[in-house]
Amino acid sequence: MIRPLLAVLFAVGTLPIAGSITQASDHLCTNYPSQAAAQAAYRADPVGHSSMDADSDGIACETRPAPRDLTPVRPAPPVAPATPVPPIAAAPAPSQAVWSRGYPEVGPSGCVEYVAAWSDGTYTATPWDCGGRAATRGSATANRGYPQLNANGCTEYVTAWSDGSYSWVPFECPPGVVYTKP
């Protein structure tokens, strides 16, 4: 009873080995009738048939009979992995708010103010005309207001204050000009 079991185990255990020998036999020079036939197999799969080129000169089975194919096989150089391309990042948001529009408005003090609306949702204003009264900011009073054209071609309304400071807002800019909040 043990002998038949051993015979079955031995037969089953040798099947993968027999298959391996059959596959490996394709890579033996003696399996090809000529050097040219071996060279053709080597040329078709230089990596899989590398054992057929004993001296690594690109010519397989040099001792096999004619016909001969003595054009060496040069395996392609290894391809370097592609350098990953970083994703395109969105343009960073401006660090300052950008002017979106300007308009005149009567402020809480009754003065006409020029107002700038900014992309961050805030507004700035400078007094323009208080109907003969002086506009105030803290302890300073407005000396005068005037329009000016800045270097970017934007019209700004400027107020000069009695403390020597100025306030201004952009009122109109040419198309394409970006005006950031001071």
Integer-rounded Cα radius of gyration of the chain: 44
How far apart CA 78 and CA 74 sit, in angstroms, is 12
Domain residue ranges in the chain: 1-73, 99-172
Q: What is the token pair recorded at 141?
A: 């009073």
The predicted pLDDT at position 48 comes to 78
- 88 Cβ neighbours under 8 A, 6+ residues apart: none
Question: What tokens does 174 get?
Answer: 């040419």
pTM of the model: 0.44
Backbone angles phi, psi at 149, to 5 degrees: -100, 120
Which of 49-53, 72-76, 159-163 tops mean pLDDT?
159-163
Residue 18's pLDDT is what? 41
| Amino acid residing at 94 | P
Tell me what pLDDT residue 172 has.
85
pLDDT for 85 equals 65
| The predicted structure's pLDDT at residue 159 | 87
Residue in the structure block whose two tokens are 């003595």: 70
**Scanning the structure block, which residue is given the tokens 């089953």?**
12
Helices (H), the chain: 2-25, 35-44
